[in-house]
């Protein structure tokens, strides 16, 4: 997390440094990110950088916390269109609402996605607490879905959570990467064609989990 010297900077200067870091991580990831480039592109000295942060990972962790906080604020004003949604309808709504948020912060989301998913750090020990928040929420969701008869009770909950987490990350990354190629990413994501694409991707996931008339029988 940043040092107090960074937090004491004027907002404009803090934002300049953040923007330089976002561009660096979006282009190079975390492993290949250069502190020298961040320093050069933000117009500060290297000595000043180390007065603000411990290292480049410290900068990234700060960006991640900023994005998390903004996402929490965003979802405070978002409500499902119906209180009678089943688990998969609600999950679909969450994915699409998340897409809306991502497209309102495309460059920062791209930077975080490249590091966590592109470099596989989402599954590493340094980000275990970040991943745990998602898996706990999905575990609760699957448990409730089983109780309501929406998911086959023979499904392994831990594996189901892994599927939903991996699938949602894959969809988000795919849509974000394609969207960054468009002139207006928000308009593109909201288009009927892209919304249909998201529905089809989620359909594949859903009907691999949804309860059917025939029960799963393992081979002897």
Structural tokens at position 17? 């440094």
How many C-beta neighbours within 10 Å does residue 79 have? 10
Calpha distance 66→77 (Å, rounded): 18
Q: Judge if 85 and 185 occupy the same domain.
A: yes
- Three-state secondary-structure class, residue 151: strand
Q: What is the pLDDT of residue 182?
A: 83
The range of the structural domain enclosing residue 188 comes to 78-213
Q: Judge if 87 and 63 occupy the same domain.
A: no
Any idea which residue has 């939903």 for tokens?
164
In a domain, 105, yes or no: yes
List the pLDDT tens digit at each of the 220 positions of the chain. 889 999 999 999 999 999 999 999 999 999 999 999 999 999 999 999 999 999 999 999 999 999 989 988 888 888 888 888 898 899 889 888 888 888 888 889 889 988 988 888 888 888 888 889 899 999 999 999 999 998 889 989 999 899 889 888 888 888 888 888 888 888 888 899 988 988 888 888 877 666 655 444 444 4
Among 67, 90, 106, the domain boundary falls at: 67
- How many domains does one find in the chain? 2
CATH of the domain at 108: 1.10.357.10
Q: What is the pLDDT of residue 209?
A: 63
């Amino acid at each position: 997390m940043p040092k107090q010297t960074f937090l004491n900077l004027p907002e404009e200067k803090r934002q300049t440094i953040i923007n330089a870091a976002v561009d660096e991580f979006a282009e190079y990831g975390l492993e290949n990110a250069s502190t020298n480039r961040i320093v050069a592109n933000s117009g500060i000295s290297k000595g000043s950088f180390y007065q603000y942060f411990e290292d480049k990972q410290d900068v990234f962790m700060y960006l991640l916390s900023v994005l998390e906080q903004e996402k929490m604020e965003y979802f405070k004003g978002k409500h499902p269109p119906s209180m009678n949604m089943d688990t998969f309808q609600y999950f679909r709504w969450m994915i699409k609402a998340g897409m809306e948020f991502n497209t309102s912060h495309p460059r920062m989301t791209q930077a975080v996605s490249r590091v966590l998913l592109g470099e596989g750090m989402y599954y590493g020990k340094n980000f275990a607490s970040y991943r745990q928040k998602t898996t706990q929420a999905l575990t609760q969701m699957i448990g409730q879905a089983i109780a309501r008869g929406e998911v086959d009770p023979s499904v392994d909950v831990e594996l189901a959570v892994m599927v939903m987490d991996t699938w949602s990350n894959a969809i988000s990354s795919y849509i974000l990467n394609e969207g960054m190629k468009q002139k207006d990413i928000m308009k593109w994501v909201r288009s009927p064609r892209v919304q249909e694409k998201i529905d089809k991707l989620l359909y594949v996931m859903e009907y691999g989990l949804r309860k059917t008339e025939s029960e799963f029988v393992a081979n002897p």
